[in-house]
Protein backbone atom coordinates (compact mmCIF):
# COMPACT_ATOMS: atom_id res chain seq x y z
CA UNK A 1 0.00 0.00 0.00
CA UNK A 2 1.23 3.50 -0.83
CA UNK A 3 -0.05 6.78 0.58
CA UNK A 4 1.30 10.06 -0.74
CA UNK A 5 0.74 13.64 0.43
CA UNK A 6 -2.42 12.98 2.39
CA UNK A 7 -4.72 16.04 2.55
CA UNK A 8 -7.97 14.97 4.14
CA UNK A 9 -9.06 18.46 5.08
CA UNK A 10 -9.57 19.78 1.52
CA UNK A 11 -12.72 19.40 -0.54
CA UNK A 12 -11.84 16.58 -2.90
CA UNK A 13 -13.03 13.56 -4.82
CA UNK A 14 -11.72 10.02 -5.17
CA UNK A 15 -11.04 8.56 -8.60
CA UNK A 16 -11.74 4.97 -7.66
CA UNK A 17 -11.42 1.45 -9.12
CA UNK A 18 -11.56 -2.14 -7.90
CA UNK A 19 -10.66 -5.62 -9.10
CA UNK A 20 -12.97 -8.36 -7.87
CA UNK A 21 -13.62 -12.10 -7.68
CA UNK A 22 -16.23 -11.93 -10.46
CA UNK A 23 -19.49 -10.30 -11.43
CA UNK A 24 -21.87 -12.38 -9.27
CA UNK A 25 -21.71 -11.19 -5.63
CA UNK A 26 -18.23 -9.73 -6.21
CA UNK A 27 -15.69 -9.36 -3.42
CA UNK A 28 -12.93 -6.81 -3.68
CA UNK A 29 -9.40 -8.21 -4.14
CA UNK A 30 -7.70 -4.95 -5.12
CA UNK A 31 -8.71 -1.33 -4.62
CA UNK A 32 -7.04 1.88 -5.71
CA UNK A 33 -7.87 5.53 -5.66
CA UNK A 34 -6.43 8.94 -6.39
CA UNK A 35 -7.67 11.77 -4.18
CA UNK A 36 -8.01 14.76 -6.48
CA UNK A 37 -8.05 18.46 -5.67
CA UNK A 38 -10.53 20.21 -7.96
CA UNK A 39 -11.57 19.88 -11.61
CA UNK A 40 -9.53 22.91 -12.66
CA UNK A 41 -6.15 21.43 -11.66
CA UNK A 42 -6.80 17.72 -10.90
CA UNK A 43 -3.85 17.59 -8.53
CA UNK A 44 -3.32 14.18 -6.93
CA UNK A 45 -3.26 14.72 -3.17
CA UNK A 46 -3.29 11.05 -2.21
CA UNK A 47 -2.56 7.75 -3.92
CA UNK A 48 -3.82 4.44 -2.50
CA UNK A 49 -3.51 0.82 -3.58
CA UNK A 50 -4.18 -2.33 -1.55
CA UNK A 51 -4.94 -5.99 -2.22
CA UNK A 52 -7.42 -8.00 -0.15
CA UNK A 53 -8.11 -11.67 0.59
CA UNK A 54 -11.59 -12.81 -0.51
CA UNK A 55 -13.67 -15.59 1.03
CA UNK A 56 -14.27 -17.09 -2.40
CA UNK A 57 -11.99 -18.05 -5.28
CA UNK A 58 -11.69 -15.84 -8.33
CA UNK A 59 -13.83 -16.94 -11.24
CA UNK A 60 -12.08 -17.82 -14.47
CA UNK A 61 -13.62 -14.75 -16.07
CA UNK A 62 -12.18 -12.54 -13.33
CA UNK A 63 -8.75 -14.18 -13.66
CA UNK A 64 -8.80 -13.55 -17.39
CA UNK A 65 -9.46 -9.88 -16.66
CA UNK A 66 -7.07 -8.99 -13.82
CA UNK A 67 -4.60 -11.95 -13.77
CA UNK A 68 -4.38 -11.93 -9.96
CA UNK A 69 -3.99 -15.49 -8.58
CA UNK A 70 -5.84 -16.50 -5.43
CA UNK A 71 -2.62 -17.68 -3.82
CA UNK A 72 -1.16 -14.16 -4.19
CA UNK A 73 -3.85 -12.88 -1.82
CA UNK A 74 -3.43 -15.28 1.11
CA UNK A 75 -1.43 -12.87 3.29
CA UNK A 76 -3.52 -9.79 2.46
CA UNK A 77 -6.12 -8.19 4.74
CA UNK A 78 -9.63 -9.60 4.50
CA UNK A 79 -11.88 -8.04 1.90
CA UNK A 80 -14.23 -7.12 4.76
CA UNK A 81 -11.65 -4.57 5.95
CA UNK A 82 -11.99 -2.45 2.81
CA UNK A 83 -13.73 0.90 3.25
CA UNK A 84 -13.61 4.22 1.50
CA UNK A 85 -12.34 7.13 3.61
CA UNK A 86 -15.09 8.43 5.88
CA UNK A 87 -14.89 11.95 4.43
CA UNK A 88 -15.49 10.83 0.83
CA UNK A 89 -18.18 12.92 -0.86
CA UNK A 90 -17.66 12.08 -4.56
CA UNK A 91 -16.26 9.05 -6.33
CA UNK A 92 -15.31 9.06 -9.98
CA UNK A 93 -14.94 6.00 -12.16
CA UNK A 94 -15.65 4.32 -15.47
CA UNK A 95 -19.00 2.57 -15.00
CA UNK A 96 -18.68 3.82 -11.43
CA UNK A 97 -21.81 2.07 -10.15
CA UNK A 98 -20.06 -1.31 -10.21
CA UNK A 99 -17.23 -0.17 -7.95
CA UNK A 100 -19.68 1.75 -5.76
CA UNK A 101 -21.59 -1.49 -5.26
CA UNK A 102 -18.41 -3.41 -4.42
CA UNK A 103 -17.63 -0.72 -1.84
CA UNK A 104 -20.97 -1.39 -0.14
CA UNK A 105 -23.14 1.36 -1.67
CA UNK A 106 -21.72 4.19 0.48
CA UNK A 107 -23.59 7.47 0.73
CA UNK A 108 -21.53 9.40 -1.84
CA UNK A 109 -22.22 11.10 -5.16
CA UNK A 110 -21.04 9.17 -8.22
CA UNK A 111 -19.45 10.75 -11.29
CA UNK A 112 -19.37 8.34 -14.23
CA UNK A 113 -16.72 8.86 -16.92
CA UNK A 114 -18.47 6.27 -19.11
CA UNK A 115 -21.63 8.39 -19.19
CA UNK A 116 -19.62 11.58 -19.68
CA UNK A 117 -17.68 10.04 -22.58
CA UNK A 118 -20.88 8.91 -24.33
CA UNK A 119 -22.30 12.40 -23.86
CA UNK A 120 -19.23 14.43 -24.85
CA UNK A 121 -17.70 12.13 -27.52
CA UNK A 122 -20.67 10.75 -29.47
CA UNK A 123 -20.34 8.28 -32.31
CA UNK A 124 -17.56 5.96 -31.11
CA UNK A 125 -17.92 2.21 -31.67
CA UNK A 126 -16.74 1.41 -28.14
CA UNK A 127 -16.73 3.26 -24.85
CA UNK A 128 -14.64 0.88 -22.77
CA UNK A 129 -11.92 2.72 -20.90
CA UNK A 130 -9.23 0.99 -22.97
CA UNK A 131 -10.93 1.99 -26.23
CA UNK A 132 -11.17 5.58 -25.02
CA UNK A 133 -7.45 5.63 -24.19
CA UNK A 134 -6.80 4.62 -27.80
CA UNK A 135 -9.10 7.44 -28.89
CA UNK A 136 -7.46 10.17 -26.81
CA UNK A 137 -3.81 9.01 -26.89
CA UNK A 138 -3.34 6.56 -29.76
CA UNK A 139 0.50 6.90 -30.02
CA UNK A 140 1.01 5.82 -26.39
CA UNK A 141 -2.13 3.76 -25.72
CA UNK A 142 -0.64 0.30 -26.18
CA UNK A 143 2.13 0.99 -23.66
CA UNK A 144 -0.28 2.66 -21.23
CA UNK A 145 -2.63 -0.30 -21.35
CA UNK A 146 -0.09 -3.04 -20.67
CA UNK A 147 -1.20 -3.10 -17.03
CA UNK A 148 -4.87 -2.45 -17.73
CA UNK A 149 -7.09 -4.04 -15.07
CA UNK A 150 -4.58 -3.37 -12.36
CA UNK A 151 -6.67 -1.06 -10.18
CA UNK A 152 -3.95 1.59 -9.84
CA UNK A 153 -3.14 1.52 -13.56
CA UNK A 154 -6.84 1.85 -14.31
CA UNK A 155 -7.33 4.92 -12.11
CA UNK A 156 -4.28 6.57 -13.66
CA UNK A 157 -5.69 5.96 -17.13
CA UNK A 158 -9.08 7.17 -15.96
CA UNK A 159 -7.43 10.38 -14.76
CA UNK A 160 -6.14 11.00 -18.29
CA UNK A 161 -9.63 10.35 -19.63
CA UNK A 162 -11.13 12.72 -17.07
CA UNK A 163 -8.65 15.44 -18.07
CA UNK A 164 -9.66 15.00 -21.70
CA UNK A 165 -13.38 15.11 -20.91
CA UNK A 166 -13.02 18.25 -18.82
CA UNK A 167 -11.25 19.86 -21.78
CA UNK A 168 -14.45 19.35 -23.77
CA UNK A 169 -16.64 21.13 -21.21
CA UNK A 170 -17.08 24.68 -20.03
CA UNK A 171 -17.89 26.20 -16.66
CA UNK A 172 -17.00 23.16 -14.57
CA UNK A 173 -15.32 24.66 -11.52
CA UNK A 174 -16.12 22.15 -8.78
CA UNK A 175 -17.13 18.54 -8.22
CA UNK A 176 -20.79 19.39 -7.69
CA UNK A 177 -21.00 20.89 -11.17
CA UNK A 178 -19.28 17.85 -12.68
CA UNK A 179 -21.62 15.52 -10.77
CA UNK A 180 -24.61 17.43 -12.16
CA UNK A 181 -23.24 17.05 -15.71
CA UNK A 182 -22.66 13.35 -15.07
CA UNK A 183 -26.23 12.95 -13.81
CA UNK A 184 -27.52 14.59 -16.98
CA UNK A 185 -25.24 12.44 -19.14
CA UNK A 186 -26.47 9.26 -17.48
CA UNK A 187 -30.02 9.79 -18.74
CA UNK A 188 -30.02 7.68 -21.94
CA UNK A 189 -31.33 8.99 -25.24
CA UNK A 190 -31.04 5.66 -27.10
CA UNK A 191 -32.59 2.36 -26.01
CA UNK A 192 -29.78 -0.18 -25.59
CA UNK A 193 -31.80 -3.41 -25.37
CA UNK A 194 -35.01 -5.12 -26.47
CA UNK A 195 -36.87 -5.16 -29.77
CA UNK A 196 -36.42 -1.39 -30.18
CA UNK A 197 -32.69 -1.47 -29.45
CA UNK A 198 -30.91 1.44 -31.12
CA UNK A 199 -34.06 3.59 -31.38
CA UNK A 200 -34.17 7.05 -29.84
CA UNK A 201 -36.15 6.76 -26.62
CA UNK A 202 -38.29 9.70 -27.71
CA UNK A 203 -39.41 7.60 -30.71
CA UNK A 204 -40.13 4.35 -28.85
CA UNK A 205 -43.83 3.45 -29.11
CA UNK A 206 -45.80 4.47 -26.03
CA UNK A 207 -47.13 0.96 -25.41
CA UNK A 208 -43.56 -0.34 -25.16
CA UNK A 209 -42.63 2.53 -22.84
CA UNK A 210 -45.60 1.63 -20.66
CA UNK A 211 -44.45 -2.00 -20.58
CA UNK A 212 -40.94 -0.94 -19.56
CA UNK A 213 -42.32 1.24 -16.79
CA UNK A 214 -44.03 -1.81 -15.30
CA UNK A 215 -40.78 -3.78 -15.06
CA UNK A 216 -39.22 -4.29 -11.60
CA UNK A 217 -35.78 -2.85 -10.82
CA UNK A 218 -35.83 -0.51 -13.82
CA UNK A 219 -32.65 1.57 -14.10
CA UNK A 220 -33.50 4.94 -12.47
CA UNK A 221 -31.88 6.89 -15.29
CA UNK A 222 -33.86 4.99 -17.92
CA UNK A 223 -36.96 5.73 -15.81
CA UNK A 224 -36.19 9.44 -16.05
CA UNK A 225 -35.71 9.16 -19.82
CA UNK A 226 -39.03 7.34 -20.28
CA UNK A 227 -40.87 10.03 -18.32
CA UNK A 228 -39.41 12.98 -20.21
Contact 19, 76 (CB under 8 A): no
Q: Please write the tens of the pLDDT for every residue from 169-197.
A: 988 999 999 999 999 999 999 998 999 99
Interacting residues of 202 by C-beta distance below 8 A, sequence separation 6+:
189, 228
Q: What is the pLDDT of residue 51?
A: 97
Q: Report DSSP letters for 152-189, one per residue.
A: HHHHHHHHHHHHHHHHT-SS--SHHHHHHHHHHHTS-S
Q: Please write the tens of the pLDDT for every residue from 32-76.
A: 999 999 999 999 999 999 999 999 999 999 999 999 999 999 999
Contact 4, 14 (CB under 8 A): no
Alpha helices per DSSP H over the chain = 60-66, 96-102, 113-120, 129-136, 138-144, 151-167, 175-185, 206-213, 220-227
Q: Please write the tens of the pLDDT for every residue from 64-115.
A: 999 999 999 999 999 999 999 999 999 999 999 999 999 999 999 999 999 9
Q: What is the pLDDT of residue 228?
A: 85
Amino acid sequence: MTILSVSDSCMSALLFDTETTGTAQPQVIEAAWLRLSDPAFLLVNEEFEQRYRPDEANTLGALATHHIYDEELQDCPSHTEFKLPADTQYIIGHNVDYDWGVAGHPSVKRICTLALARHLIPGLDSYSQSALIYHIDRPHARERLRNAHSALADVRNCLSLLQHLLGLTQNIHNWEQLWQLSEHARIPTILRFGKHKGMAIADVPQDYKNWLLRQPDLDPYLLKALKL
